[in-house]
Chain A
Amino acid sequence: MNMTLSQQDGATVVTLAGEVDLSHSPTLRKALMELMFEKKPVVVVDLSAVEYIDSSGVAGLVEAYQSARKNATRFVLAAVSDPVRRVLQLARLDKVFAMADTVESALKG
């Protein structure tokens, strides 16, 4: 898994690439929960280049999303790749997360 954080239009964009599995999901969780602790106003997770995500990676997104709701942080999954979308749909989380087709549309809100 490769993860980069950047600032765009006042939002924090977390860009993930590769495979988010058991060996990488703790890193993702830590990074996301730090952003929640800092009470960032907008966090966009760019999932366009994620080839695989397992349940532990999804759990990290769920925990961060729940914290974001408490903090009134806008937390959006953007450009969700097909492999990630299929996993989210399996647990019906596609109906839970805020999702946007592109990072740009996520930033616009």
Chain B
Amino acid sequence: MAPSPSDDTSIEVIGLNTHYGERQILHDVNLEVRRGEIMVIMGGSGSGKTTLLNHLLGLLSPSSGTVRVLGQDLAALSPMERQQLRTRTGVAFQSGALFSSMTIGDNISLPLREHTDLDETTIGIMTRLKLEVVSLAGFEDLKPAELSGGMIKRAALARAIVMDPDLLFCDEPSAGLDPVVASSIDDLILRLRDAMGMSIVVVTHDLDSTFKIADRICVLDRGKVLALDTVEAIRASSDQRIQNLLNRRTEEAALDPDAYLRRLLGDKANQPNGTIRP
């Protein structure tokens, strides 16, 4: 277990490269997330932001490079150490990833039952506290199918924070929500940082949300870190690709005739074939 270079660093990514088959997805990605900050990883579809998130979650093995989370090198962790690290992190998945057969209350309390020996009364109060925090008080007995999209996102967030993690990951927390509900999720993320001092990594393509919540922004483009800076600096950037992203201008990808032909002819070397961790 390698120590973190600094207690003020929650995540450190050094020289991360990853491939799906022969196709390189991430190119020499370097990233540092400081303790207590909201880092937004932003980019268009296919920019590599979800792949990067999967590496931060330890779901993918890099082709090369290092990913340290809360001071620990993910590649060097034993299954037990990996499990312990997971108790210190929370993940709110884009789809919610709630168990459809369980009530919202049981979904949220699940990590507490799995990882702690707390008594039932305490677990019950903690679960309802988190429901209060995400404005879902009174919904604990409903099933996920009985909730709206925004409510499912909030329930997923409640489950992600029920263990009071040091580090929270949110994958597209406001995608598909109306602007008012999306804004309420942004407010909630800000309150979690301020009240609990959590480090929060948000993956999104939502510009309004990004500018509202980010302490710093990592802009990914075609698998490369285009910029890593404050909101003000990103807004003021003279880089044409960043401005295209901010102004929602499309950019025609350069065409490699040989690669195009291989794709049309069904060359398997171009098919996704990443290394997935169990």
Contact = CB atoms under 8 A, between A and B. Distances in A.
Our verdict on whether A and B bind, yes or no, reads yes
Interface in B142-159: none
Interface string A74-95: 0000000001001101111000
Given A54-B164, A90-B133, A59 B122 contact: yes
Interface in A29-86: 29, 54-56, 58-60, 62-63, 83, 86
B130 interface: yes
B22 interface: no
A23 B27 CA distance: 41
Nearest to A61: B125
Contact of B164 (A55, A86, A89): A55
A63 B126 CA distance: 11
Given A22-B116, A22-B118, A55-B130, A90 B195 contact: yes
Contact of B126 (A56, A83, A89, A92): A56
Contact of A58 (B117, B121, B129, B197): B129
A59 B195 contact: no
Contacts, number: 54
Contacts of B121: 59, 63
Interface in A1-47: 21-22, 25-26, 29
B162 interface: yes
A59 B125 contact: yes
B196 interface: yes
Contacts of A26: 117-119, 122
Contact of B162 (A55, A62, A90, A91): A55
A59 B129 CA distance: 8
Contacts of A22: 116, 118, 163-164
Interface residues of B, number: 21
Interface in B96-133: 116-119, 121-122, 125-126, 129-130, 132-133
Interface size class of A (residues with CB under 8 A): 20 to 34
Contacts of B197: 83
B95 to A, nearest CB: 25
A56 B133 contact: no
Contacts of A55: 126, 129-130, 162, 164
A58 B123 CA distance: 11
B87 to A, nearest CB: 9
B194 interface: yes
Contacts of A21: 164
Nearest to B118: A56
Nearest to A92: B132
Given A55-B162, A86-B194, A91 B116 contact: no
B7 to A, nearest CB: 14
Contacts of A60: 122
Interface of B: 116-119, 121-122, 125-126, 129-130, 132-133, 162-164, 191-192, 194-197
